[in-house]
Amino acid sequence: MEKITKTIANVIFVTLIAIVAYLLSGLLIGQFGEIDSDIKYVVSYSTPMLLMLLGVIIYDRVVCKRAQRTMWSIRGFNPSMILWGVLLLVSLSIVLSPLMRLLPTATPFVETEVWAVVTVICIAPIIEEILFRAKIFSLFRSTLSPTLSAVVTSAIFALMHGFTGVAIEAFLAGMIFSYAYIATGSIFAPIILHIFNNVMAFVMMQFMYQERTISDYIGALESFDIIYAVALLITIIGLIVIVRKYRLADRVVREGGTLSNLRIEERNADNTSADKESDE
């Protein structure tokens, strides 16, 4: 019961921190008066997110009396993990494309100024992954299993993206980013995957700006059924792999280990399997 209470308190405080961050950023930006639209886009995005990050860090250290360390291992640059994550994100986008046509989404609006594009493709992924995966995910890890922590963090991440269609994609992408963070023990992997995801989203918005979605272009291909079937198969395999990874992480934590022990447990499991095969 105590863990449930603390989890609810964490959700409430994170929500309040987000509200206060956006209110403060609105007041601060209002003090600048008329500024270049390109710079305004960067400031209007970065200010609330940085304030929210600062608020979560203060809440974690002062109220919760913890100081969660961000995992910065170079394993986050693992090419096989990056390629697998990219393939899964692309496949998931194709699989969800028919559903996205039926759900409400934001009105296409594409900023093409240099700093606006840099913000969408580079600044946003870095800030959001440090905020959501490194800090908020770790915050909920004090009371929840890795799987539930990822679910709650991804739900908050999705709500920050607003519209139903975008929120669904954001939630599933958030689960993939959390999986990458757990699997590699490094924030670099989800940052790289998030950058790719935003590049893909930016390209899609460019198509929407031309009043056609990228799924319209793909759907017009004669081989769309084959493409969709392959994407569905990859998505199913990906979900199985991710669920197994989350279950392993839950077991490691339940047995008193930490997420940094995850790769050791994987090696032990592989060695056990190899020993069994050699005995046979």
Determine the pLDDT at residue 264.
56
Contact 145, 254 (CB under 8 A): yes
Query: Interhelix angle for 2-30 vs 146-159, to 10°?
Result: 30
Structure confidence at residue 274 as a pLDDT band (50, 70, 90): very low
More confident residue, 114 or 208: 114
Determine the pLDDT at residue 257.
75
Fill in the DSSP letter of residue 103.
Answer: S
In the block, residue with structure tokens 């954001």: 170
Reference 266, options 280, 279, 247; nearest CA is: 247
pLDDT exceeds cutoff 60 at 227: yes
Determine the pLDDT at residue 3.
84
Calculate the average pLDDT of the chain: 82
pLDDT exceeds cutoff 50 at 275: no
pLDDT exceeds cutoff 90 at 49: yes
What is the number of other CB atoms lying within 10 angstroms of the CB of residue 260?
A: 12
More confident residue, 156 or 225: 156
More confident residue, 107 or 57: 57
Give dist(CA 239, CA 222) in Å, integer: 27
More confident residue, 115 or 23: 23
**Sequence ranges of the domains in the chain:** 73-275
CA 202 to mean position of chain CA atoms: 16
Main-chain dihedrals φ then ψ at residue 68, nearest 5 degrees: -70, 130
Contact 190, 131 (CB under 8 A): no
